[in-house]
Amino acid sequence: MRRTSLRTELFAGLTTFMTMSYIIFANPAILAGAIPDSANPALLTGGNPSLLAGVTTATCLGAALTTGLMAWLTNYPFALAPGMGLNAMVAFTVCGAMGYEFQIGMAVIFLEGILITILVLLGLRRWVMDALPVSLKHAIGVAIGIFIAFIGLKMGGLVVAGPPSTLVALGRLSSPEALVAVAGLMVTVALMAWRIPGALLIGIAAAALLADVGFGLASMPMGLGDIVARPNFSTVGKFWQGIPAAASLALLPTVFAFLITDFFDTMGTVVGVGQQAGFVDAKGRMPRMDRVLFVDSVGAALGGALGCSSITTYVESASGVAAGGRRGATGYTVAVLFLLAMFLSPLAGAVPKCAVAPALIVVGFLMMQGVARIAWGRLEEGLPAFLTIVLMPLTFSISTGIGWGVLAAVAIPAVRGRWRDIHPVLWFTAAVFAISFSPLVPR
C-alpha cells in the first residue's frame, strides 16, 4: 500500500529534478566539449559550440518524454535522463579517440537501444543478467565512475597531459580553471554533507558564478533575453545518417559495450531505488519490472534519435523517494520541469567546463560504492573486475575496459577446465570483443 498525497508527490518530483538537473549542463558540456566542429577546423581542440543549444534541448526533451512515459506505464517515481558515462563514451571514445562524427555516435546509441528493447520484449533479459559474473557487473559501474571522475579532473585542469614517462601530471593549481573546479567541489561536498537537495546543481551554479565574477571565464546572462530562448532541435534525427557506419563490424563491439553497460546499470538502479521505496519483495522481485525495462530501453533509442546520448533511469530518483514519492505523479512533475528547462538553453552556454567538473568528480565518487561488492578473493571474479576498472580510464575507453573484463571472465574458467560453467551469451560476447581487438578490424 503506497500511502501518499499529491502535495508529497509534487515536492518529491521537485526534489528529484533538483538532484538530477545538473545533467542539463553536464551533458551538453561533455558532448559539445569533446566533439570537434568539422565546419570550423579552428575549433578542433575547443569542442563544438554549435552543438550546445541542440544537445541542451534534446537533453531536456528526452528526459521529459521518457520520465513521463515511465510514470504513465509503471506508476513508479523513477526519473530518466541521458546517462553519465554513456555520454562520455560517445564523446571521448566513439567521436574522440575513434574519430567518428556526431551522427554516427548517435546511431550507435540508437542501435543499442533497439537491441536492448528487443531483448526486453522477447523476455531474454534474464539470459543477459545471468551471463556476466556478479563482480564484473559491479566493476563496470565502478570503472565508469572512475572514468567520469577522470574526465571531471581533466575538465577542471586538475589533471593535464604529462611527459612520456608519466603520461599525466597534476595541473597548475593556481590556474583560474583549477581554482574554479576546487571551489565548486568544496561547495558541492559541503552541501551534500548538509543533505541539501540539488547539491550538484547548486555547486555548478556557484562555480559558474565564480568563473564569471572572479576570473572572467564565462559571461553570465543578465537579461531575460539572455536566459530564455526557443528550443533548438538541430540534433534531432541526425542519427539516421550514421546508421550504415554504426552497423559495421568495426563498431559492433562498441554497440555491445553500450548494451551491456546500459542494461546492468539500469537493473542496479531500479532494484536499488525500488528497495528503498518498498517495491521489491524478499526474493528481489518487483511488480511491472518488464515495463520499467521497456521504458528504459526505449529511452536509449530515443536518446540516439534526439541527439542527446542514451537515456536511462537515474539513481537520483532515490532523492524523490526519500522525500515521500511513491507514484507516477512524482515522475510527471519531473517531466514538466524538464519541459520548461528546454527554454533555458542560453544558461548552458554560460557554464564553462571547469564549473561542471565538480559534478563529474562527485558522480564518480558515488559510483565507486560498488567496489565493496566485488569478490576480490576469487580469481575468476576479482581479476576480470580489476582489468575492467583499470583499463577503462587508462585507455579512455569504456568498451575496452568491458571487453578485457569479459575476455578474462571466459579465459580463467576455461583454463581451469570449467568450460560448461561459462554462459553461452558470455562466450558470444567474448568472441565479439576478441574480434574487435584483433588487427583484422580497421580502426
Is the pLDDT at 379 greater than 90? The verdict is yes
Question: Which three three-digit cell numbers place residue 239?
Answer: 542519427
pLDDT in tens, 146-155: 887 898 898 8
Confidence band (pLDDT; 50, 70, 90) for 34?
Answer: low
pLDDT of residue 93: 83
pLDDT of residue 226: 63
- The answer to whether residue 438 sits within a structural domain is no
- The answer to whether residue 134 sits within a structural domain is yes
The residue ranking higher by pLDDT, 263 or 92, is 92
Mean pLDDT value of segment 112-141: 80
Question: Which three three-digit cell numbers place residue 21?
Answer: 538537473
pLDDT in tens, 294-323: 999 999 999 999 999 999 998 788 778 877
Contact criterion met (CB below 8 Å) for 376 and 56: no
pLDDT of residue 39: 47
Mean pLDDT is highest, among 114-118, 266-270, 280-284, for 114-118
- The answer to whether residue 78 sits within a structural domain is yes
Buried-exposed string 409-434: b where 16+ CB fall within 10 A, e elsewhere:
bbebbeeeeeeeebbeebeebbebbe
- The answer to whether residue 246 sits within a structural domain is yes
pTM for this entry: 0.76
- Of 241, 245, 217, 223, the closest CA to residue 351 belongs to 217
Mean pLDDT for the chain overall: 84
Out of 68-72, 101-105, 345-349, least confident range: 345-349
Is the pLDDT at 92 greater than 90? The verdict is no
* CA 332 – CA 343 distance, rounded (Å): 18
- Boundaries of domain holding 155: 6-374
Cα four-point dihedral sign 151, 157, 161, 165: negative
Mean pLDDT value of segment 414-435: 85
First to last CA, the chain: 54
pLDDT of residue 42: 40
- The answer to whether residue 437 sits within a structural domain is no
pLDDT of residue 437: 79
Task: State the pairing for strand pair 159-161/311-313.
Answer: unpaired
- The answer to whether residue 271 sits within a structural domain is yes
pLDDT of residue 67: 97
Residue 343 identity:
F
Is the pLDDT at 283 greater than 60? The verdict is no
Is the pLDDT at 284 greater than 80? The verdict is no
- The answer to whether residue 309 sits within a structural domain is yes
* CA 320 – CA 322 distance, rounded (Å): 5
What are the backbone dihedrals phi and psi of residue 311, each rounded to the nearest 5 degrees, phi first? -95, 130
Is the pLDDT at 351 greater than 90? The verdict is no
The residue ranking higher by pLDDT, 12 or 126, is 12
Out of 97-111, 112-126, 282-296, least confident range: 282-296
Mean pLDDT is highest, among 232-241, 249-258, 277-286, 416-425, for 232-241
pLDDT of residue 46: 46
The residue count for the chain? 443
Mean pLDDT value of segment 81-107: 87
Percent of the chain with pLDDT over 70: 88
| Structural domains counted in the chain | 1
Is the pLDDT at 40 greater than 50? The verdict is no
pLDDT of residue 44: 35
- The answer to whether residue 379 sits within a structural domain is no
Residue 333 identity:
T
pLDDT of residue 158: 95
pLDDT in tens, 163-222: 888 889 999 999 999 999 999 999 999 999 998 877 888 888 899 889 988 888 866 666
